Chains A and B, each alone.
Chain A
Amino acid sequence: MVKRGFSLAEALVVMAIISIFFAAATKIITTRPKPKIQVNPHGYFECYKLGGTQYQRSVREQLEIENKAANPCTFIPPAGTAFFGLNTYGPGGLYHSSFEPNINNALKITVGTNSITFQSDTQSYVLNADDTADNNDTEYNAKLFFEAIYSDSMIYNGGAYNEGIMISW
């Protein structure tokens, strides 16, 4: 009698070997690389004056991290943030709005009577109410910015504005 096919045992052995192969490759076959989801860390830091005392306050993802008296205020930029918005309300009529892509190190900030001073580890810069380039916004716009976008800020303060600066991202 001529043997024409495999026996059940033979087929099982073959199946077992193929199964082992696919089992080993299952992880690779079923894994699909997924693009990382964009992370949009938003938050802000504000340095403001209330009752003659200077405070610094940090909010990240709508959660208040700190709110304490500080003179000067110390802003430590969050890692991985490309741009920062600088917006002031006062002091002395200083209404400033700009975008700053290059804050890498800690800044010490002091809110004066008509100016705001920034001190990094290498140099300082002063926003001055008397300087047209610095004082480039209007009181109306400055107020509306805090009211409409950052109504939880202490600069807005429920409409009883406190003088200070906000660094947002």
Chain B
Amino acid sequence: MMKKRLHTRGFTLAEILITLVIVGFIGALGVPMLGQQKMNKPEYPKTNHGVFECYYGADGQLHQFKADNSNRNSMLGTDTIVADYCSFSAPIANFYTIQVIGAGGHGGLYDTGTNPYYNTIVVAGDTGTVSAGNSFSADLAAAPEWVREKWDNQWANGATPTTYTLESPLGSSGDTVCQYARKGAGILGEAAAAKCALDCASITPTCIAEHPECIDRQIGQGGDSGYGGSYRVTVKLKHNYDVNIQETISSASVSFGEGGSVSIASSGSGTDGIRLDDINVKDGTNGSSVTSSSVSSTIAGSFSTSSRRNTAPNTCSGTSSEAAGESADSGSVNISGTTSYDYESQALAIQSMFGYRGEPGNVTSRVVSKLPESALRLYPARDRNSNSIVQISAGGGYKNFLISEPGDNGEVHALGTEDIAIEGIEATDFPFPRALYPAAFESKNAQIPLFTASGYKSKFPDLIADPKLSPGRSGMGAYPVLSIVSGTPYYKINGVSVNSNPTTHDYSASVAAYTCMSGEAPLTDASGRYYCAATKGNSGAIAIIW
């Protein structure tokens, strides 16, 4: 037996049992640890979330879509076409956010069926004045650029130049002396003269008052100033001149920047005063006369001797013993002919009819923590002819609970009320002045505050991404596409045209590559003018999120 046992190759039962016991013991020790991990998994309360969306689809029909996080199937949602309204029965939830989006307004001109178009017109442009005096260069610097550019053209077109008349300064005249003297025998006779010699031994005020028959009034007139000269110069002012007029006691001068200068000064002598034998009469002072040789000028002009002079008084008044001569005059510069230069221009413009984009539909939101058991009825607006409405059961019927009005139609600018100057517009401004583009014409989405979905699908992101389906999106505006604008505006300086060349802006080559903001090619009206038509505002929609 022992011998046989020694040849056994397997384990004995006892060995197996012992092994099983050990394995079982170790396994039993590990069970609580393994199980504990499973049991201790964090558990979060399952919160009901979902979305209910009522919208118009690409097929033009009313859809209601519902998705929530309750199970794998409902996460994908169910989309159903409904007839008149969507019906929402509130699931259990903490709260509900109801968003009502009104229909978008149409682009301007959509309702009227009128095509946008434009005409090229000429409108009033700049006006102003440039003085021919000292402020010439300052006035010219402040004028529009075209005035400087085209200034010199006026002389070739017959504009009237400016004439400056310079008059020389005049010296003062001499003072006049007045004197009382006793009449002699040659006037009064011997006897009377002898009597006067007794009555008025000296010339006193008493004698003058009591014996006027004995007194003679004598006047010693001062000298006159010399005659002045004048110089007339007619100048065609250039745009780079700087006019500088000086009027002083010694000269009158005009300089014309690079164009030269004219100066006329006082010189020469006045006439002598009358000198009586027994009266010391003053000569005229600073009397001056001017001859052509005293004029310095680099500009052609004409000189003449003026009749102007200052003369001494030749009467005495009262008891004064002296009458003052006239004071000296400064030289002067007088402008005649064109004293100032008026300028005016016309501008090329377009006179247009167009319509701005519509306004997006209004959005109304409301958060409630409870909804009635009766289903809400949702009526999103198909177009802006109606409101988007949520109705709620109350008082045995349905009442309007939330309302969103549609956006306004785009503003229409009629021909004749909107003139847009295009002078200076560059090719990059094509096809329409960018000051109005694209904010004024491009459709605008409704301001939907919340539509995100997590753990379940939502239709709204795809709808919003599609300009033709985005709920409440406004219609695109209507605007002409400029191809050729032309006209013959004028520029006038000093009453004459300085440029009347026809002006043309030709953008027709660019139209072929242009697409409207809708992505489509421009349309053409009966006159061959291009335009982008207005589009319809999108339908409204209603979403409930919980």
Contact = CB atoms under 8 A, between A and B. Distances in A.
A84 B370 CA distance: 11
B334 interface: no
B394 A148 contact: yes
B401 A148 contact: yes
A97 B45 contact: no
Interface string A56-99: 00000000000000000000000000111100000000000101
A37 B45 contact: yes
B450 interface: no
Contacts of B401: 141, 144, 148
B324 interface: no
A20 interface: yes
Given A24-B28, A144-B394, A36 B46 contact: yes
A128 B359 CA distance: 33
Interface-centre pick from B43, B46, B93, B95 (highest chain A CB count, 10 A)? B95
B28 A40 contact: no
Nearest to A31: B39
Interface in A1-43: 6-7, 10, 13-14, 17-18, 20-21, 24-25, 27-28, 31, 33-40, 42
Interface residues of A, number: 39
A33 B43 contact: yes
B6 interface: no
B217 interface: no
A27 B31 CA distance: 10
A168 interface: yes
Interface residues of B, number: 38
- From DSSP, what is the main secondary structure of chain B's interface residues? mixed
A28 B38 CA distance: 8
B46 A27 contact: no
Interface in B198-230: none
Contacts of B400: 144
A21 B48 CA distance: 41
B423 to A, nearest CB: 48
Interface in B472-517: none
B392 to A, nearest CB: 4
B13 interface: yes
A94 B27 CA distance: 71
Given A10-B13, A33-B41, A35-B45, A17 B21 contact: yes
B201 to A, nearest CB: 110
B260 interface: no
Interface stretch (B71-79, B181-189, B361-369, B452-460): B361-369
A129 B316 CA distance: 95
Given A20-B24, A25-B31, A85-B367, A149 B372 contact: yes
A139 interface: no
A36 B45 CA distance: 5
Given A6-B13, A144-B399, A148-B401, A42 B369 contact: yes
Nearest to B45: A36
B44 A35 contact: yes
Contacts of A37: 45-46
B369 A168 contact: yes
B94 interface: yes
Nearest to A99: B367
B412 interface: no
Contact of A97 (B17, B34, B366): B366
Interface in A110-151: 141, 144-145, 147-151
Interface of A: 6-7, 10, 13-14, 17-18, 20-21, 24-25, 27-28, 31, 33-40, 42, 82-85, 97, 99, 141, 144-145, 147-151, 168-169
19 contacts: A13-B13, A14-B16, A18-B24, A27-B35, A28-B34, A31-B38, A33-B38, A37-B46, A38-B45, A39-B45, A40-B93, A97-B366, A99-B367, A141-B401, A148-B372, A148-B393, A149-B371, A149-B392, A168-B368
